[in-house]
Structure 1
């Protein structure tokens, strides 16, 4: 009785700490029949004695295991940059590369200067702006003179309006020249042009060489935004019709991680050479270190397809006790641990390969409380 009282107090305290409360009905008709004839359950390893009220107060959810798990298809996949996530930085005018401020692997911001090219076009832009400003100053003075003469009654209104029209044209030319000058990033001495990045990201290719002569349009850098990557999956002809936009997916990274994704689109026709369609997956979040051109494995889950030969349970139900994956199976007087072998995890559920039978009732939400209580009970016995 003392052991049972201590377990109950520990579970109740844990429930108050997490602030989770639930009202799950008891299931006497589906309790596990293995209640261990010899000894009380609190004395048997992997067994906890809890009343239905204690289970409810701890916020422990229960679920009946049933057959059926989502069908999952495994395909090779390639990481690519989305159309808006890659930018090519080229030389906007012929000239000599005079400075380089960014190189391969560096991070850049949108509009940041990555290099400078000494070019005759820079001098032309500076000269054009200077001439436009001088013309505007001259026509401003002419307009002011015509305005005074008109106010004195010396000249006609037509002369004043003509002077105003000429001044407006000159001012428009100044604005155009200033915009071209600024867009080209002309240096203060009027000799070089700025090479800037069209987006924020990381430089994945760099062909700029200090002192090299480049022509207009030559590619100097390539920038990729790591937050704008997508994954392309080649779907064989027999499986292409099974995949639709919105289907869940998971990416298997080389380091063993699994990242959630979702099918964004599927090409409506097959590639004539490979006889395959392409599914484009959108990433749930950016993945540090992932680069365009990387090869992965993609696990796709066609919506509505169920494999009745497998079982899947919530991931929260699986706990690790003494190095083994277990679930807590409901018994008449509480729970007992049941070792299981797990498979794929996707969409918050895990496939059970062995160790669990359909019809068993297991703890799901807050099953970690049972694991914690089991650990405390084991420590007490050891002491």
Structure 2
């Protein structure tokens, strides 16, 4: 027992020391944790590492605010040098006052010039032997269109030949009777009768010639029974209703010829607009689908209103040397009524649509800046600017579409 007591005491002492050391280490860790917590809590109020992070965040947010302000303050536009502007073919115009004609548009249609359109019909019945032209072909005055064999033509030629022979016989008889009467061989009554027969023969010949000339195209060949249809003037065959072997009469619509070097742009005018549409007023005919336009003048305004439309027919006569204005083409007719002075106007080609709004590109120190505008009346290639532009501002006219394209590219690059 005496030997075991010191060993037991040593074990107990070692255990006590271990427990004390563990307790001390736990106390140290707990104290450190509380110290760190205290430090963080203190740092949040006094600017230690945590407040530094908050200050950085605040500084970052403030930086973003300043960049946004700078972006908003920077004027949107294109930076171009004078050399680049010249290379792009951009021409500048100065916005300013203009005298614009007040105009209004009416729908219309291109039609034949009825003063130069002919419906060619046979002047005698017969059978078509030959057709010499095709639909759409251009013909010259006097050109052969068709040949028609006609019994009536043969009869007329026979009548003409008979009248010529009777006149020759009556002339010889008259000369003989006159000589006999002068020599006192025959009675005066025979002389007078011969003179009367001569006059009747002359009248018959004149009638036969008039009937023949009314056909205005009888051929002298093949027995004289052929009738030739010929073009009455230079034009285009716009309708053709003949084929060889067809029987025709005086009412058959054989051909329609029209001189398309001049056409009519016809349109309807409501009663309330008749005071503004008068003969001689300037008018512009526009074909939006073809991108064509031509200036002219109102040449006719009807005096009667249509029973169905209750409107008057008016027209503009157009020169059509190259045939671009085809009959049947729908057009708009802009009729100018009176001139009006506007404060600011620019050419129509200076107007471009930017972000769905009509805009102009205004010249700036560094290049051009787009500016939305409100538009008013249009006339002769000029457009009134109601708001967004001042007199004296320089804007891009010709070549403004290039600036619109470049602006779209710039916006796309910024978006990416």
- TM-score relative to the length of structure 2: 0.59
**Equivalents in 1 of 2:82, 2:153: separation in Å?**
85
In 2: Cα distance, 1:88 partner to 1:166 partner: 42
Change (3 A) 1:64 1:352: closer
- Structure 2 matches for 1:37-48, cutoff 5 A? none
User: Residue 218 of structure 2 aligns with which residue?
Assistant: 186
- How far does residue 162 in structure 1 lie from its aligned partner after superposition? 3.8
User: Contact between 2:108 and 2:330, CA under 8 Å: does it hold in 1?
Assistant: yes
- Correspondence for 1:200: 234
Is 1:358 aligned with 2:391?
yes
Cα distance change of structure 1 residues 262 and 355 upon mapping to structure 2, 3 Å threshold: farther
Deviation at 1:345, TM superposition (A): 8.4
Structure number having the greater helix percentage: 2
1:194/1:82 CA distance change after superposition, 3 Å: same
Change (3 A) 1:148 1:287: same
Kindly name which structure, 1 or 2, has the bigger radius of gyration based on alpha carbons: 2
**Map of 1:171 onto structure 2:** 202
Q: Following TM superposition, by how much is the alpha carbon of 1:207 offset from its aligned partner in structure 2, in angstroms?
A: 0.5
1:105 and 2:139 equivalent?
Answer: no
1:87 counterpart residue number: 118
1:142 aligns with 2:173: yes
Q: Which whole-Å CA distance do the structure 2 matches of 1:156 and 1:44 have between them?
A: 113
Which residue in 1 is equivalent to 2:408? none
- In structure 2, the residue matched to 1:231 is 265
| SS of corresponding position for 1:280 | strand
Separation in structure 2 between the aligned mates of residue 110 and residue 274 of structure 1, nearest angstrom:
38
Cα drift, residue 171 of structure 1: 2.4
Q: CA 1:203/1:355 → structure 2, altered by over 3 Å: closer, same or farther?
A: farther
Kindly provide the CA deviation profile for residues 202-249 of structure 1, in whole angstroms up to 9, marking residues without a partner as x: 110000011111222111111111134211112344433322211111
Aligned length: 292
Report what 2:334 is aligned to. 299
Which residue number corresponds to residue 124 of structure 1? 155
- Report the equivalent of 1:245: 279
- Quickly say closer, same or farther: Cα 1:176–1:309, change in 2 above 3 A: farther
| SS of structure 2 residue aligned to 1:226 | coil
* CA 234–286 in structure 1, closer or farther in 2 if over 3 Å, else same: farther
1:294-314, Cα deviation, whole Å (9 max, x unpaired) = 222222211x2537476267x
The C-alpha deviation readout for 1:119-152, integer Å capped at 9, x for no partner, is: 1101111110111011111101101211322342
User: Contact 2:95–2:345 (CA<8 Å) still a contact in 1?
Assistant: no
Tell me the TM-score normalized by structure 1.
Answer: 0.64
Q: CA deviation at 1:97?
A: 0.4
Aligned to 2:310: 275
Cross-structure match for 1:152: 183
The runs of 5 or more residues in structure 2 that have no matched partner are 1-80, 87-92, 351-359, 396-416
CA offset at residue 279 of structure 1?
1.8
Given that 2:150 and 2:226 are in contact with CA atoms closer than 8 Å, whether structure 1 keeps it comes out as yes
Q: Tell me if structure 2 keeps the 8 A contact 1:76–1:296.
A: yes
Compared with structure 1, are the counterparts of its residues 288 and 346 closer, same or farther at alpha carbon in structure 2 (3 Å cutoff)? Answer: farther
